[in-house]
A and B are shown apart, each in its own frame.
Chain A
């Protein structure tokens, strides 16, 4: 990695010398021992206090007690304890108060409580110190074991994506080993990584939708490569959801021209991100949430026109976010089509697998279905785009059958199924 100039390798021992970390560990251990001594002291106090409470409780039970009275340092003489319900209680700082047995017990109980709180705080401190000590010891052993820290700037292979991610990513996102140790800048890195992951996942989802398409479309893509690279960089100031919205809007406006480009762009993404196999459910869910929010944020009027497209784009992007997505939808009562879509989409999801299998063998039926889409304006526009695309591809790609089938299925892999459901 060093040779490639991508990152740096520093032995951990040079950052944290073994003896130093051992010394630090020892010091922390010493403090722990000290605190534990204090804790023992406090425990003794508590035990004493409890004994005293018991004694004070018992004393008034009798009118008088026969006791041995200490006299000086060494001597005792027999005596009798009278006035068994009168106590002179030291309040502290030289102040004494006359109290009865009951009142004394109250005072002692309060003292016991404060002692307990002290014990608790001390225990918390000891726990902290122990964590610290274990960290130091682990560091020492790691340094002694010749562990190295590898730092590498995160470089995105896809140039267009790099633009999109530029902000957070250019701060150095170091390797795992670095992050573990770099407690100071952890927040920054965490944030950068989170942003990176979010972007990544969006692309992944797109890629997943389009993953099987890559091979067949390779030839066609090459023509559009440049355009497709420019598009994302134009949009790179907006966040990814914005971009999706943009795409959705453009789709409605001039689908015939724009759509193929977008498709290519997404294909590109598939190329570059198809390899990124990780798909975390949680993230997808959260993404679904943000998208739902995004939807709600847009004006109602805008919604009614944009929504179908938006849904298409989103749906292609977020397959698993669907549950969340649907859950949030019913809250927007004003959009009838919205609701309609949501109700149908639940079924559509189930239909998805079915459709997938159908997609593979029967291509013409799909295209036919799309052309016969209902009168909903935006929806028709969308289907038009697909057809356009389907026509576009065969020109370049040899395998007409497979490509057309895949195209019909690919772009709106889920939406198509949904709309089919709606139509029924």
Chain B
């Protein structure tokens, strides 16, 4: 009877761990998506910066804000884009760090799950013998 209780306990533990793992995996997937979005944005911003660099001094630049086009200075637009690129790069770095962290957590979780699975198996074997 005691062994069956222990077995149930172990199974519950395993379930919890499996839930945690799936949560972690979801996080990782989400992280990947965000990362992808940021990478695309970074590429776009770099393209914009390149074009802005190619524009001549007196060119008219507009920024679409909501439904209206607001006229902007070339220098201002340039600075804005640069800042945005900086921000996105920092964000990408941060995402990388968190991703690594999450992956480490995932690996440790996997190991833990493996261990509890083995535990359950041994418990079941012991039960079978008894």
Contacts and interface: CB of A to CB of B under 8 A. Distances in A.
A97 B64 contact: no
B63 A95 contact: yes
Nearest to B77: A95
Nearest to A98: B60
B47 A114 contact: yes
Contact of B47 (A96, A98, A99, A111): A111
Given A111-B47, A114-B47, A95 B52 contact: yes
B117 interface: no
Nearest to A96: B62
Interface string B69-110: 100100001000100100000000000000000000000000
B48 interface: yes
Contacts of A99: 59
Interface in A81-100: 88, 91-99
B111 interface: no
A107 interface: yes
Residues of B contacting A: mostly: helix
Which bracket fits the contact residues of A?
A: 10 to 19
Interface in B24-58: 41, 44-45, 47-48, 50-52, 54-55
A95 B65 CA distance: 9
Interface residues of B, number: 22
Contact of A97 (B41, B61, B65, B81): B61
Contacts of A111: 47
A91 B52 contact: yes
A96 B61 contact: yes
Most buried by B among A88, A95, A96, A110: A95
A93 B45 contact: yes
Contacts of B45: 92-93
A98 B81 CA distance: 18
Interface of A: 88, 91-99, 106-107, 110-111, 114
Interface of B: 41, 44-45, 47-48, 50-52, 54-55, 59-65, 69, 72, 77, 81, 84
21 contacts: A88-B69, A91-B47, A91-B51, A92-B44, A92-B45, A92-B47, A93-B45, A93-B84, A94-B63, A94-B65, A95-B63, A95-B64, A95-B77, A96-B61, A96-B63, A96-B64, A97-B51, A97-B55, A97-B62, A98-B60, A107-B51
